[in-house]
Structure 1
C-alpha cells in the first residue's frame, strides 16, 4: 500500500480528535489529548513534533493515535522504546486498534524473520517496536560470524546484482554460510533491485568502498570498528523504510554517539518524507541547552533556537534576581516571546495546571495548584543517634573538609553517600555498590562521581589531583573512624541498624497503617535489599504477635540478620531467638496451608465455572488446557491468585479474569507461536505453559514474605509485570515496592493504589525526581479517586484533603541537607523552563508587591499547551 501523505494523516487526526469515544472502551481521549491531536495535525505536514507533556498526562495515547492514523493512510511506523516498556506499548497500541510486532530486542530476533517457518519479513509489519538497546551488540575479534556477517553477505550479493560477479572466495566462504544470513541478504538485495531509492543507494555506496576482504574480519565490528556503522545500516535495510518514527523517552542517551542516536541515524531508516514524533516529559533536566538535543531528535534546525534559548535563560535569571526592575521584566517578556516563537513550530506541552483533578484540588482547598503535591522530609537528626552513629556522621562531615577540592575520590564518594544509606557495611568497597547487580544503574549514571563532584561545588571538568601525603593520611584516619563506627564490635549487621533505613521504615509503616501503599526509590541494591528484608521481617513478627496469618513457614538464611534486627527494634520474641521464632512461624503456617490446600483442590473447577459465562478463545484457551494437564503447577497458580484475591469474597468469574491477567503478565505478545501461523497448536501450548509456570515459580515460589518487594536491574521483565500487577491492587501484596531508579522511574504505571513516594537515595537531577514522582501522579490515579471521595465528604466535614506525598530521607545538618537544597533550586529552574513558574512562591513569601510582580512575570512565561 502506498503512503498517501501527511495532508491525509492531518485530516485523519482531526477527524479522530472530534470522534466520540466508543462506549465501554478503555481507550479514550480526554479534552487535552484531543487538542494535542489537532496541534500535531497542523505541524506534521511541515516538520517533526515534540510532545513534552508532564508525566502522567497521556503522551503515549497521543502517539498511538498518530501511529494509527499513519497506518490507515498506508504508511509504516517504528516506535523506539526503552527496553523495559515494550509490553506497555504493545498493550496501548492494541487498545488503540493497532497491530504491531513484538519488541525487537536482539539481532537473533531480527534474523529469525527470515527463518523457513516465518512468512512475514520486517517490511510487512506496518508498526515495528524497536528497543533503545537493540544495537548494543558486543562485537569484536572473538564474535561469532552470524553476529556480523550480514554486511559481507549483503555486499557479496549486491555486487552480483550490479556487476554480475561475486567477490573472490565468497561463494564457499564458511563465514557466509549461515542460512538466516543468506536468506536476509538475498531478500534485502532483491527488494533493493526492485524498488531502488535509498536501499539501492546505500548498497551502491558499499560497492564504492574497498570493503573486501577487510569486511570479513570480526574485529572491524567492535564499538569503534571500521564497519560497525555500516553493519547497523545494513540491519536497518532489512526493517524497511518508515514514514513515522516515534521516539519514546526522547531525552535519554543524549549525544551523537549514543545508542539511541545510532538507531535514528542508521537503523530506523526514514522514507524521503518521513516525520519524527518525540515523546519526553523532561526535555530539560539540568541545562536549558538540552532543548537542542531533543530538537535534533526530530531533525529540527537548532542554530537560531539555541540563541533564543540562551537569551531566555539569561532573562529568567535576571528577572529572578530583581523582579522589581521594569527593564528586566520587559527584557524577560521579549525573550519569552522569542523563545516561544522559536520552539512553537515543534513543541507541544501540557502540564498539571491543566489537569481537571488539580483544578478541583485548588477549588476544594484554595491553595496553589502545585500544592496537590506535598514534600515532607523524613528527617534523621544527629542528636537522636547513638554514639557510634553520631561519630560516623561526624567522620563523614570531616571528610568533606579533609577531601576538599576533589583531592581524594574515595573520600568524596563516601561523604556523599553515607547519609543516603549506601556505604555502611563495606565503606571502603565502593559504598556498597555491586558491580554486577548495579550494572544498569551505573551505566545510566555514567560518570556519576564526576557529576557529584560538580554538584558539590568542585571545579568543573577538573580531575582530582593526587593528594599530598599528609592530607592522604588524614583522609585514611577519618575513613578508619567511620569504618570502626558503623561496623561496631557487637556482631550486629550494621546495615540493618542504619538510622536512615530505620527512619524510612518508620515512615513507610505509618503510611501502611493508614491503609496505603508506598513506592520507594533507591539507587543501589544492597541497602534496598536490606530495607525490603527489614520491612518483611517486622511485618512477620507483628503478624505472629497479633496472631494474623503470614504466608511463610521458614526463615531463609539470608533473612536471619533482618529477623534478629526486627526482633531487637520491636522488642518482640527476643528471648525466643531464631529457633523459637521459626517454630512459631511453622505453627501459624499450618492454618495458611490448610486454606491454600482447599483452594488448590477446587481451583480448576472454580476457573472452569468462571469460564463458563465468558469462554476464552485463541491462545489463552489453549494455555488453560495445557494448565489442566499439569496438576503439579496448581500450587503456584493458586498462590499467585490468592495474593491478588480474597478466596471468601470473589466470584468464579473474577477468579478466571485474574488468572488471565496473571498469565498475560508473564508473556510477551505472540510468544510461543513458533511457526508464525498466529495460533498455538498442542505442542506449542504445552511448551509455552511450561515457560509460564517457570516464571510464576520465580515470583510466587519464593519462601520469604511478600509485604515488601525489590525491583532492580536484574529483575526479569515477567516478574516486573507481575509486581506491577500486584502493586496496582488495593488489597494485594506487595504493599511496599522498592524500585531501583534505573528500572522503575520511567514508563511504569504504579499509580492505581499508591500516592506516596519515598526517596531513599535522593537524586541530584530534578528531571529524574519528576519521573519518579510521575509513577504515582498519573491519569486515573489512586490520588484522583481519593480526591473525588474528599469532595463528597467536604459538605459534611472539612477533613484532610489527600495529596501526592513525597518523602525524601534527609540527614539534618549534614551534606545531605545541602544536596536536597541544591535539588530544590534546580527544580525551580526546571519549573521556569517547563511549568511557567519563573519566580516561585518560595522566593517572595508574604510580600504582596513581589507576589504581584511574580504573577505578572509568570503570566509572560512561554506556554506551549495546544489551544483550539
Structure 2
C-alpha cells in the first residue's frame, strides 16, 4: 500500500498551486495564466472521475511545468509518479520538478537493465577479496549519492523517470551453456512462485544476488495482485526478444506501483512493439485507480486518425463497458467526427466558400470538439496576449517563414546542367532504380562526395549514356560548392555577423557534414585575417566516413570569391601560421600556469580530489590535457577565448581552476548516463575513478585540432556531448554560434531558445509535425525573440521588430520544389487539426475587398475547434 490519499486530495493540491501562481506577479510566479488554467482544468477533470488527459499545448508553452505541478501534488498526497520520456530529457525534468520541490532529489532516469539490477545490490554481495570489494562498495555508494541508483529501493522512490531506452534492453544467449546474470531474474522469480530454492551460481555474484533481491521484490507484490506467467521454460536458451517480453512485467512489479503515469512526447514511436509501447503496456504497474497524463505538441502529424493512436496511449486498452468520457472508454466513438472534420477542412482550402460549406464546417467542428473535448486540453499561440499583440501592432506573424529559392541564375550553368540531367534520369523508364535516384544525390547533396570522388577516366565517361554523363557535377566542383550548401552559408553568416546564433536542421548527413566543415573553415580564415585567436594548432586532417574532411573544406573556402585578403593561400602555409600562433599562445599560458601547476601537484599530494583530477588531466593527451581543460572551462563560462585577440588570454589561479573544474564535473555528472567502465590508474577511489571517466569523455571534444564555430549534432554524438552543446549554444558569448542538427536527433525536447531565433531548414521533411518540433526548439517561453522584442532597441533605431526567422532552402524547379510543396500542403492539414486554421491565405487576401467573404471567414474562425482550458 502506498498510502495514497486519493485524487480529490490531489485536485485540492492543484487548486492551491494555481491560487499561489495567480497571487504572485508575473516576474515571481512559477506558472503563467494559461498554465494555472490548465492546472485548474486537470483538477476539475479529476473530481469528475476522469483519469486520462492529453496536454497538447503548442511547442514552447510550458507543458512540462504543468506536469511537474501535478507530480508535486501527487507526491505530497503520498502517491507515486512515473515519467516515461525520450532519452536526453532527464536534466530538464529534474529542473522543472525542483521548482515545486526544491529539496527533492529526483533520481536520474532509469536507462539500463544493469542500473535496475544494481539498484537492489548491497555491500559485500560480490564476494570479492577485501580490497576489491571495498572498491566495488564505494562505487555502488557513489552511484547512490549521485542519484543514479535509489538509496534504499526502487519502490521507495516517489518519482521515477524511465527512459525509452530502458525498454530496448537485450538478453544475449549464454556462452558455453552458462546462465549469465542478465538471465538470472526470471528463473529466480519462477523458483519463488513454485516454492522452490534456487542455488546461487558462480560468476557475477553481486549481480546475481541483486537479481534474486529483485525477484523477491516482484514476488512480494503477488499478494496485492496476481501476475499470470508461463512457467517451465528454458530461460537460458530463450531468444532475447521472448525473454524481454516475459521479464518486463516482472521488472515492473519490482519497481512498484504507480498512481500517476506521465507520458512525455506521447506521439513518439507509434508502433505496437516500440520502446514506449512496451513500457506502457507491459512494464508500468499501475494502481487500482491510476491517472495517465500525456504530453505532446503534435498529437497528429500526417493524418487525422493519429489522434486515436495518441489517445490510446493515455486511455489504455479500450473497454466497451466504460463510460467513454475520457476514462478509458471506447475510442472508436471519436473516429467518425475526426474523419469528417479532416475532410471538410480540406474542402475549405480547395473549394469556393459558400453558406453550405461554412455551415457544414460549423457542424463538423462542433462534433469534433465534443468528441475530443473530454480527452484534450490545448493552449496555442492564439491564447498568448503578447504574440497576438505583436500581430495586431505590426500586421504580420511573429514567425517569418521564408522560402529561399536557389534559382538557375544562382546555380550557374554547370550545376544547372547536372540538376536537369539528374531530373531526366529519374523519369527515364529504362534506367535502374539507383540511377533514377540520382536526382536526390545531386539536388540534395546526398552522397555527392562519393560521386565526385568516382574516377572520371575517359573510358568510364564513354560507358555512361548522355544523361548520366551530364548528371555528374562540374569538373572542379565539390560538395562544398553545392548551391544549396552555399545558400545556407550566406543566410547563416549574415545572422552570425550580427551576433545571432543559428540552428540548422537537415536529414541527410553528407550535406550536414559539409556545411559544418565549410562554416568552420570560413570562420578560421576570417579569424586569421583579423588577427584573432583560433583554438587549433593545425587543420584537422581526420575525417569521418561520411564527410570529405576539414582540409577539403579549407581549400574550397580559399577558392571562394569572398575569401578574406591577406591570408596564406595554401593549407600548408595556413598550418604554419596556426602552429606559430598556437605555440606562442601556449608558451605564454605555460608561463602563467607554472606556479599553478606546482600548487595543484602539492594539493593533489595532500589528498585534494579535484587537484588530483587536474593533475591527471594535465599529464594526459601528449601533455596537452591542460589546454583541453582550459578550453572546456572557458567555453562553459563564456570567457570568449574563441574570439579573443591573439595577445589576449584568460588569467588562471589555482583557486579558480579547482573551483571551476569541480563545477564542470558536477554538471557533467548531472547530465551523464550510465558510463561503461574504462581503464583508469590503480589506487584510485571509486569517486576519483568516476570523475576521471566523466572529464576524459568530455575533453575528447576539445582536441586542439579544430574550431567549434559550427558543431554537428547527429546520431553518433555522445549523450554528454549533446548536453554540452545544448548548454554552450544557450550562452550568448560562447561557441558554437551555429548548431547543425540531424533532424531525428535535435527536433524534440531540447531547449535551444535562450540565444537563438534563427532557424535554417536545409532539407524538406515529409512530416509537418517534425517541422513544428524543429521550429519549437527556439519558439518557447522567454525565448531570445521575446527578449529582443521586449527590450525595444529596434524601436530606438527605427528598425522593424525582431521575429523568429525560418529559412527553407529550396532548389527551384525540380524534385526538391515538389517535396516542399507536398510538405506545405500537409502543414496546412496540421494547422487545421491543431490550430483550427482552415482558411487559405488566398481567401483571406480576397476577403479584404469582399465583405461577404469576410463574414464567412469570420464564422469559420469562430467555429474552429478550441480546447483552451476555460
Provide TM-score, normalisation by structure 2: 0.82
Go from structure 1 to structure 2 and tell me whether the alpha carbon gap of 1:605 and 1:801 turns closer, same or farther (over 3 Å shift): farther
Go from structure 1 to structure 2 and tell me whether the alpha carbon gap of 1:684 and 1:851 turns closer, same or farther (over 3 Å shift): farther
Distance 2:247 2:492 in 1: 50
| Equivalent residue in structure 1 for 2:235, among 215, 240, 244 | 215
Q: What's 2:665 paired with?
A: 663
Residue 695 of structure 1, CA deviation: 2.6
Does 1:8 pair with 2:6?
Answer: no
| Equivalent residue in structure 2 for 1:309, among 333, 338, 359 | 338
Does 1:112 pair with 2:118?
Answer: yes
SS in 2 for 1:668: helix
Q: What's 1:296 paired with?
A: 312
Alignment of 1:246-257 (within 5 A): 246-257=262-273
Alignment of 1:512-523 (within 5 A): 512-523=496-507
Go from structure 1 to structure 2 and tell me whether the alpha carbon gap of 1:736 and 1:18 turns closer, same or farther (over 3 Å shift): same
Q: What's 2:407 paired with?
A: 381
Q: What's 1:453 paired with?
A: none
Residue 136 of structure 1, CA deviation: 1.3
Deviating above 6 A after TM superposition, structure 1's stretches of 4 or more consecutive aligned residues are 21-27, 172-175, 602-607, 647-658, 669-674
Q: What's 2:511 paired with?
A: 527
Residue 711 of structure 1, CA deviation: 1.0
Q: What's 1:480 paired with?
A: 468
Distance 1:568 1:737 in 2: 25
Residue 148 of structure 1, CA deviation: 3.2
Kept after mapping to 2: 8 A contact 1:752/1:780: yes
Residue 625 of structure 1, CA deviation: 5.3
The alignment's C-alpha RMSD in Å is 3.4
Go from structure 1 to structure 2 and tell me whether the alpha carbon gap of 1:477 and 1:250 turns closer, same or farther (over 3 Å shift): farther
Go from structure 1 to structure 2 and tell me whether the alpha carbon gap of 1:25 and 1:271 turns closer, same or farther (over 3 Å shift): farther
| Equivalent residue in structure 2 for 1:130, among 142, 153, 162 | 162
Q: How many residues align?
A: 775
Distance 2:293 2:588 in 1: 52
Alignment of 1:206-355 (within 5 A): 206=229, 209=230, 211-219=231-239, 221-222=240-241, 225=242, 227-299=243-315, 300=328, 301-322=330-351, 324-355=353-384
Q: What's 1:372 paired with?
A: 398
Q: What's 2:81 paired with?
A: 77
Residue 755 of structure 1, CA deviation: 0.5
Distance 1:753 1:744 in 2: 16
SS in 2 for 1:244: strand
Residue 635 of structure 1, CA deviation: 3.3
Kept after mapping to 2: 8 A contact 1:57/1:778: yes
Does 1:580 pair with 2:612?
Answer: no
Distance 1:479 1:427 in 2: 15
Q: What's 2:186 paired with?
A: 151
Kept after mapping to 2: 8 A contact 1:142/1:218: no
Distance 1:194 1:631 in 2: 49
CA displacement 1:514-550 (0-9 Å, x = unmatched): 2211111122332211111111111111211222222
| Equivalent residue in structure 2 for 1:396, among 399, 422, 425 | 422
Residue 843 of structure 1, CA deviation: 4.2
Q: What's 2:534 paired with?
A: 550
Does 1:803 pair with 2:803?
Answer: yes
Distance 2:687 2:200 in 1: 40
Distance 2:519 2:611 in 1: 39
Kept after mapping to 2: 8 A contact 1:323/1:854: no
Residue 421 of structure 1, CA deviation: 2.5
Distance 1:141 1:188 in 2: 20
CA displacement 1:208-235 (0-9 Å, x = unmatched): x4x314334232x33xx3x542221122
CA displacement 1:213-265 (0-9 Å, x = unmatched): 4334232x33xx3x542221122111111111111111001132222111101
Kept after mapping to 2: 8 A contact 1:666/1:695: no
SS in 1 for 2:299: coil
Q: What's 1:826 paired with?
A: 826
Does 1:857 pair with 2:860?
Answer: yes
Residue 662 of structure 1, CA deviation: 3.6
Q: What's 1:636 paired with?
A: 628
Residue 76 of structure 1, CA deviation: 0.7
Question: Any gaps of 5 or more consecutive residues in structure 1?
Answer: 431-473, 608-620, 675-680
Does 1:51 pair with 2:55?
Answer: yes
Q: What's 1:560 paired with?
A: 551
Range moving further from structure 2, 843-852 or 777-786:
843-852
CA displacement 1:147-188 (0-9 Å, x = unmatched): 33322221112111xxxx46xxx547779x855345434454
| Equivalent residue in structure 1 for 2:153, among 121, 129, 145 | 121
Distance 1:267 1:41 in 2: 27
Residue 862 of structure 1, CA deviation: 0.9
Q: What's 2:224 paired with?
A: 197
Range moving further from structure 2, 276-285 or 596-605:
596-605
Go from structure 1 to structure 2 and tell me whether the alpha carbon gap of 1:553 and 1:183 turns closer, same or farther (over 3 Å shift): closer
Q: What's 1:645 paired with?
A: 639
Go from structure 1 to structure 2 and tell me whether the alpha carbon gap of 1:703 and 1:16 turns closer, same or farther (over 3 Å shift): same
SS in 2 for 1:277: strand
Q: What's 1:776 paired with?
A: 778
Distance 1:8 1:664 in 2: 37
CA displacement 1:446-490 (0-9 Å, x = unmatched): xxxxxxxxxxxxxxxxxxxxxxxxxxxx9984773366x22x545
Q: What's 2:791 paired with?
A: 789
Kept after mapping to 1: 8 A contact 2:117/2:211: yes
